[in-house]
Every structure is written in C-alpha cells, then in structure tokens.
Amino acid sequence: MLLNLLFWTSLFLLITNGERGFYGNQYGEWNDSQLQPTIQKLMKGYNRYLRPNFNEGPVEIGMSLDIASIDAISEINMDYTATIFLRQRWRDSRLIFPGNESLSLDGRLVSLLWIPDTFIPDSKRSFLHDVTVENRLIRIFSNGTVLYALRITATIACNMDLTKYPMDRQECTLQLESWGYNLEDVVFYWTRGNDSVKGLDTLRLAQYSVESYYTSVTKAVYETGLYPKLILHFALRRNVLFFILETYVPSTLLVVLSWVSFWISQSSVPARTCIGVTTVLTMTTLMMGARTSLPNANCFIKAIDVYLGICFTFIFGALLEYACAHFCTMQHQTIIDVQRELLKEFEESNGTTHLVSSMSPRKMKTEDSTKQEKPEQTVTCEENEAVEQTKEKGCGLTTVKQMSRRAASMMSVENPHNIDRHARILFPMAFLLINIFYWLYYLLF
C-alpha cells in the first residue's frame, strides 16, 4: 500500500514538472531570470511546434535577399557559390504585445519560436556562419510580426550552355521552397518584388558581369503535394577580353607564324620543316591548356574549340603545303633529268639529229643562195624522205619532247614555286574570311 502511494506521488510530480518545462517558466536553456518580463509573457503557453494561424488559413511569409558575394562559378561542376543574407517575415498573433516597440532577441532564442522550414532545393552544400556566434537575427514587433534573418553560404547548381564559350551568357537561379508545409499551410511572396533583391547591381566578378535579374513566384509540384516556391533569376555575361589575350591572340599569331615558311626557299628543308613542326606542337599545347578549365563532355562543341580547330587546320595545312611543294619540285626535277637522259641516249644511238639539223629549211636557203645546185622542190623531197627515215628508225626528237612534256604535266606542276606564291595569298584571305564569319556568328546569333 505504501509502495503504491509513493509510485503515484512520484508520477504526479514528474508530469507536473514536465508540463511546467514545456509551457511554464523554463524554456530550454533559458529560465525566468534570463528572460525579460515581456518575453516571459509571450512565451507562456507558446507552442513552437504549431505554426501561426493553425486551422485558420496559411501563413504568409515575405522574403528578401541581399547577395553579399558570388565567390566562385565553376564550369566543370556547373555550379556557383554565393553568400547571401536571407530575411523572412511573417505574422504570429500569439506574439502580439502592447506598445510600438520592437524586441531584438538573441539568436539562440530561435529554439523557442516557430520558424519556417525554408530550404534551397538546388543547393549542393551550404552552411550557416557561426563566427563569432551563429549569424542569426530575431526581431519581434508589437503587432506580432517576426523578422528572421540568416547569413548563409551555399553552393548552388546552375545548368550551363557552353556552346558559345567564352562568348556565352549563362542564366542561373536561386530557388527557395518550403520543405514540409504545402500551399495550404504557408504562402511565400517577395516583399518588394524585384527590389527585394539587393547587391547584384554592385557585384564585381572575375570573369562575369551581371547583365539582368528578376524575381518570380511559382509552386513546386511533388508527389506529396504543392509547395510554395520563390525564384531569383539572374543572367551572367562572360568577359571575353581575358580569353582574347590568353587564347585567341596567341593562336592567331601561331597561324601567321606558319605562313612565314611560304617566303623561305623550298631548298631550305630544315628551316621550313622546323617552323611547321614547332607551330603544330605549340598549337596542340595551347589547345590542351584551353580545355583544362572546362568539363570533359562531348555534348558541348564550344566556340573556343571551333576557333582552335580552325587555327590548327591552317597550321597543319601550311605544313602539308610545303610537303606538296617539295614533292612537286623533286618530281619536276626528276622529269627534267629523265628528259635529258632520253635526249642524250637518243643523240648517242641515232644520228638523225644531225640529219634533221643539216636539212633544215634555213640552211637549205643558204645553200640555194650560194651554190644554187638543187631546186627548192628537190630539197623538200629530200627533207621529207629524211624525216620519214627518222620515223622508221625510232621516235623523233619532237615526239620525245612531246611525250616528256605530257608526262611532266600529268605527274608534276609546271612550276612548283607557284605553289608558294599562291599560298601567300590564299591562306591569309581564307583565314580572314573565316574569322569574319566566326565572330559575326558567335557575337550576333
């Protein structure tokens, strides 16, 4: 009997102390002596697990942002890291107190109040700053309005289209949603429309400039219901001057350097080969260096890849031009040597060369003027007989020349030095036209 009495007495005291700890004069780590009298009255009977206007309609929560900085924008990971001040306002009728003053509370008193479950859906990593204390602000106004501010650094995903890199324009977003409360419980809105976002106008970035921004209100659709959603849209324009000095100018100069070989004699094989190979290897290194800061994705054929490919094609084409010119020169020289050998063998094996030259019309006229021994018709007949005898014995001198010229025209260029002369004009003109088309396309379209 005594044991039962002690058990029920202990249980009663335990329940009484528990209710007092939840609704009474103790609030977590804060007791009556640490709270102001007004806070004591506000917190008495306050249940932080129930939202304001419970069973009376949704809570309207106003949002505003201050963008302190955008620390990094990564094309490889397709994200950006930003430090923001997030301010949320809502009205809680349970916190109304007389007067026109406002109460600025310690951030640690957040554990005593109901706060929205706002989160950033596209966030990869985020943290709340806590130096020297947690960077939170709680302010309660006399009409029950609560101002809750946070300082957050978050890494947020941003889907980028890099087809025009480095002349691209990226559109990123910062989204705010409610995690557990749907549209029947809470409603989000921007407190001042586009003016709710501050700091983007004065933001200075290394490679980008903020072109424009605007806000929108929408809803997130999930399997569990419809949830409130706020979106900040901002457009970033990349500064192309750095890439012009870092990539475009060196690659263009390498193309111009490869054209120097057109003015070097074709007999200077080491000089022209050295220029061609050096420019090709340097261009390859430049292309590899330009790709280090970009994602290794085959779905993006970037503008800088197109330009580097054009430059590499022209440099490699200059090397091939010398190979073709040198080959044609050697082939032409070979044909000339073969022709000389044929003529020499023909002169040695057949004496018709002397016959044809002695029976030429010019010499026959000289003989007619001096000796006048034979008539003109007799000379012509004898000449025709001599030519016929030459044809019967073998190929005549004229036939050898025609065949050799025909073979030379089919297998080689008549003057290989004309290849370099044409290349001096065609290569720069083609490169200039392609550059005009390239820059007009990527800057205007």
Q: 3-class SS at 140?
A: strand
Q: What is the reported pLDDT for 25?
A: 43
Pull the structure tokens for residue 223: 């399997």
- pTM for the complete prediction? 0.72
Instruction: Give the residue ranges of the chain where pLDDT is below 50.
Output: 3, 14-28, 30, 32, 353, 355-387, 389-394
Q: What is the reported pLDDT for 55?
A: 84
Cα radius of gyration (the chain): 46
The span from the CA of 294 to the CA of 301, in Å, is 11
- Say how many CA atoms lie within 13 Å of 45 toward its Cβ: 4
- Each residue's pLDDT tens digit, 203-233: 999 889 999 999 999 999 999 999 999 999 9
The span from the CA of 136 to the CA of 115, in Å, is 12
SS3 sequence of 166-234: CCCEEEEEEEEEECCCCCCCEEEEECCHHHHEECCCCCCCCCEEEEEEEEEEEEEEECCEEEEEEEEEE
Q: What is the reported pLDDT for 412?
A: 53
- Each residue's pLDDT tens digit, 105-144: 888 888 889 999 999 999 999 999 998 889 999 999 989 9
Q: Are β-strands 59-74 and 197-198 bridged in parallel, bridged antiparallel, or unpaired? A: parallel
Q: What is the reported pLDDT for 300?
A: 72
